[in-house]
Amino acid sequence: MSAKCAVLDEISFLFVDSTAEIATLDSALHEILHSRDTAMIYEAISSMGRFYYNNNRQEALYDLMSRTEAIASDSEVYRKLYYDIKTYISQSNLWEGKYGVAIDIALETYNKARGEQDKYGIICSAESLGGIYKYLRKDSDAVVIYKEGFDILDKENGNTGYKMQYVGDILESLLRLKRLSECETYIARFEDLLEKWKEEGAKLNYSYPVDANICQLLVYKADHAITTGNAEEAYRCLEKADANGGAEEDPYVGYQFNFVKARYYELIKDYKKALHYVNIVLETDEYEEVLLLKAELLVHEGDMGGALAVYKRLLEVVGYKHDMTFTNQINRFYSLYDLNRQKLQSKEIELQKTKLLAKNKQLFFLSALLILLVGMAYGFYRLYRKQLRMKKEIEQEKESLQDSEKKLRAAKEEAERANASKSLFIANISHEIRTPMNAIVGFSQLLTTEDYSKEERMLFIETIQNNSDLLLNLINDVLDLSRIESGNMKFILKEVDLTQCVREAVKSVAHRVSPGVSLLLDCSCDSFQLNTDPLRLQQLLINLLSNAAKFTEKGKIELSVQVEDEQRQVRFVVTDTGCGISPDMQEKIFERFEKLNEYAQGTGLGLSICRLIADRLKGEIYLDVTYTGGARFVFIHPCSLTCS
């Protein structure tokens, strides 16, 4: 090492991770690159990359990547720096919300490493790609990628601290997936690595900051205990973590500690304390699981308005991530298309020089265009597959193998039916999403040109808005359907003024009724207290009245409410004078995605949701096939209900 490089190394050590260190290294980078000290080259550029990443200087990272190309591309130093800086760039794009760009860079690096069988590259890129999947809550994909990188790191006897980081990432995803047996295995592995880490520190006479890692281990154990319903074990772990104080050393460990505390207090039904810790967590970031937990706690507390606001925010957060991912991918395809179109235009000018060259070049450009179209088609196909995978995450828990043969057979048949039902549901929802999405993309492209008048542009915008509303309604219906079927939608029963409840339902749909159509309410009871969930009852009635309004162009729509004392039930009847329901549709009108008119707006999920709500309210809903003047739906609600 030259004398100057030795001085630089000393300065770097004294001012590590500071602007003074980076300024010194940057000014001397040319000399460092031309020195023969590979360790100095690696440490200098790696330190600069880490500093630029921690300080969110993305342009500097790209510049550093190009400057390192001065190193021989076949050298060991360049290979390691390539994967280090690519990882920083990918993660930097992720934190800026450029999810598509981050995934593309991570996948490109990962595929390069696998193609070259580069173990160091696979370890780095697998950590980066797994982190992106984990942030986007694609935990099943994250676990697969993380395990691949960790297995190589483990076989290569890599750095113990790095292994702990990998195991911690795997554990976070496994805990969210509730794969409890695997969680126990990796908790034990984390504990072993922590002991080894402390021993290494003692041998080197170096005090590692182990408190944060001990606290993190206790948080993982508490999270596992909460998932299994073991409140006593969870309390013991959280009490030890609190006494340890490691959560104050590491902000991320503190975030995990407070979130698991909130889950613990939810488990023991102390909702006020749970809300306190949830609000502390939300000061750091708005992750989906935190918002969902807060909404559920507000429902437990009876704050339905607050819960609704949190659910709306949850939809915004999830929608933003998905929209940003989709938009980034589309923009990349447009950039590629524009670049190739410019090249095509320049080549066409050259074709005019001679007839002989024109024929040859014409064949070349036709081939290039075909390859481009095939590439774009393949890219859109991959994008479509990614969207499907996001909706096809499967959460499976291992069951005990000591059940009888009959129970195993029944479980297998149930799983096969569930898989077939899920596949059909995914196929239908994909079709329903693609229709409005195509309209949105198509008319958005038209808005980018100057060939249309203001009136036509306003019509395009209105079409985009209508299809956006349709897409939002579809998402809301799917979420309602999913929460009801999974049992996550809470039904809160209380005494409700029946007359006021039905009047509010009628008032909610009045604006949807076509001109010339009468909307009538026939409620014979002036005052009757019904034990029900008013929100779900109104949702059911609004769905029925909205369907009637959609298919009734003249005549009337009537909601009749009759209290039948002898049967101890209330009969709700929605009658319209619309187009009616054909005999071949009467049997399957309550099935998902079934629509009277495939060209009419709607998701085809409204009546399915009505039937699920009716079942949860222990009532009955059916179509009166004897009525021929339009359509008539009947919902029978029992007078006495208990929470299920």
For residue 90, pLDDT beyond 60: yes
Of the pLDDT bands very low, low, confident and very high (cuts 50, 70, 90), residue 188 is: very high
Instruction: Tell me the CATH number of domain 407-486, given options 3.40.640.10, 1.10.287.130, 3.40.50.10860, 3.20.20.370.
Output: 1.10.287.130
What are the CA-CA distances from residue 263 to residues 87, 418, 638 (Å)?
Answer: 33, 29, 35
> Quick one: the chain helix, strand, coil %, rounded to 5?
70, 5, 25
CATH class of 494-638: alpha beta
The mean pLDDT value for 478-503 works out to: 78
The mean pLDDT value for 56-80 works out to: 71
pLDDT in tens, 338-383: 434 455 555 666 666 777 776 777 777 778 888 888 888 788 788 8
pLDDT of res. 599: 47
What are the CA-CA distances from residue 432 to residues 43, 474, 554 (Å)?
Answer: 53, 8, 29
Contact between residue 641 and residue 568 where contact means Cβ atoms under 8 Å apart: no
Q: What are phi and psi of 398, to 5 degrees?
A: -75, 130
d(CA 24, CA 7): 10
Contact between residue 58 and residue 89 where contact means Cβ atoms under 8 Å apart: yes
Question: Structure pTM?
Answer: 0.48
Alpha helices (H) in 524-582, listed in sequence order: 534-550
For residue 457, pLDDT beyond 90: no
pLDDT in tens, 13-35: 444 445 655 665 665 555 565 65
d(CA 437, CA 538): 30
What are the CA-CA distances from residue 27 to residues 8, 20, 42, 405, 420 (Å)?
Answer: 10, 11, 16, 73, 63
**CB atoms < 10 A from the CB of 610, how many?**
22
**CB atoms < 10 A from the CB of 328, how many?**
19
Q: Parallel, antiparallel, or unpaired: how do β-strands 555-564 and 517-523 relate?
A: parallel
Q: What percent of the chain has pLDDT over 90?
A: 7
> Which tokens in the block code for residue 179?
């794969």
d(CA 593, CA 596): 10
For residue 37, pLDDT beyond 90: no
Q: What percent of the chain has pLDDT over 70?
A: 73
pLDDT of res. 585: 78
d(CA 632, CA 618): 21
Contact between residue 245 and residue 209 where contact means Cβ atoms under 8 Å apart: no
Better-predicted residue by pLDDT, 489 or 610: 610
Contact between residue 344 and residue 365 where contact means Cβ atoms under 8 Å apart: yes
For residue 284, pLDDT beyond 70: yes
DSSP state, 98?
-
Domains 407-486 and 494-638 fall in the same CATH topology: no
The residue extents of the domains of the chain are 407-486, 494-638
For residue 635, pLDDT beyond 90: yes
pLDDT of res. 593: 59
Opening angle at CA 70, ends 64 and 76, nearest 5? 90
Residues in a beta bridge with 530: 496
CA 474 to chain centroid, in Å, comes to 16
